[in-house]
């Protein structure tokens, strides 16, 4: 059975203290197919979101912070007036893990609200 973005969003991140290998490029590419608009760049996955105004941008950033807190997995975020860019990498393994894709799927679900 093929996993979907909804399946990823329903999962919970697992603690990663290192000592495991990052996902291979083939695994990354397979998981990326389940997400819309995410890119694989320089060993990270990234996506830019556009909003109506600054208030909506900050609301999304704050909601992202809450998801990050609940999952204990934190992205790099940059923002401007009506845009926000989110980048994930699992720092403990210096590469990508399933946690990055779980959080990306949760943000896409959040963005759809």
Other Cβ atoms closer than 10 A to 5: 19
For 86-103, what is each residue's pLDDT tens digit?
Answer: 999 999 999 999 999 999
* Dihedral-angle region of residue 37 (phi above 0 means left; psi in -120 to 50 means alpha; beta otherwise): left
For 28-81, what is each residue's pLDDT tens digit?
Answer: 999 999 999 999 999 999 999 999 999 999 999 999 999 999 999 999 999 999
Is residue 24 one of the residues assigned to a domain?
Answer: no
What total of structural domains would you count in the chain?
A: 1
Is residue 111 one of the residues assigned to a domain?
Answer: yes
Is residue 37 one of the residues assigned to a domain?
Answer: no
Is residue 99 one of the residues assigned to a domain?
Answer: yes
- List the domain range (segments joined by +) for residue 105: 46-113
0.85 cut: is pTM over it?
yes
CATH number at residue 65: 3.30.1360.20
């Amino acid at each position: 059975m093929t996993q979907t973005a909804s399946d990823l969003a329903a999962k919970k991140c697992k603690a990663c203290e290192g000592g495991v290998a990052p996902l291979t490029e083939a695994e990354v590419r397979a998981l990326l197919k389940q997400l819309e608009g995410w890119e694989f760049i320089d060993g990270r996955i990234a996506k830019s979101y556009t909003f109506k105004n600054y208030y909506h941008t900050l609301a999304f950033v704050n909601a992202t912070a809450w998801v990050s807190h609940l999952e204990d997995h934190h992205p790099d975020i940059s923002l401007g007036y009506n845009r926000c860019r989110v980048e994930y990498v699992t720092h403990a393994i210096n590469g990508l893990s399933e946690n990055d894709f779980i959080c990306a799927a949760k943000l896409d679900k959040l963005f759809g609200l």
